[in-house]
Amino acid sequence: MGYVDDTKVLLALPTNQTTDVVSMLNDDLREIIKWCCRNSLLLNPDKTKLLMIGVPQLTKTLPPLSVTFMGKIIEPVTTAKDLGVCTSTIA
């Protein structure tokens, strides 16, 4: 079995559609899991991050968000490392 490495899922959303987008993201993650299983690829939910990027005035108004990935609840983080580069939300 091989590993899926450095995969990203990006979504743009209006702040008034947060609930719908989280539901769609959870659906997309389930499809990714199915595809990886069919293609003998392993995923590591412990290395999965949810990074919300946006204008601070708008991101602060969002309700608490989380997604479920392989039975693990993924909460938003303020920084994430990608190929050695740290990305962070603006506070």
| pLDDT (tens digit per residue) in 16-56 | 777 788 888 888 888 988 998 899 888 888 888 887 777 77
41 Rama class: left (phi>0) / alpha (psi -120 to 50) / beta: beta
CB 18 within 8 A of CB 66: no
| pLDDT (tens digit per residue) in 62-90 | 777 888 888 888 888 887 777 777 777 65
Q: Which two tokens stand for residue 31?
A: 């499809």
> How many CB atoms neighbour CB 67 within 10 A?
19
pTM over 0.85: no
pLDDT at 91 over 60: no
The residue ranges of every structural domain in the chain are 2-88
Measured CA to CA in angstroms, residue 79 lies from 38, 40, 76 at distances of 32, 30, 9
Q: Which pLDDT value is given to residue 34?
A: 92
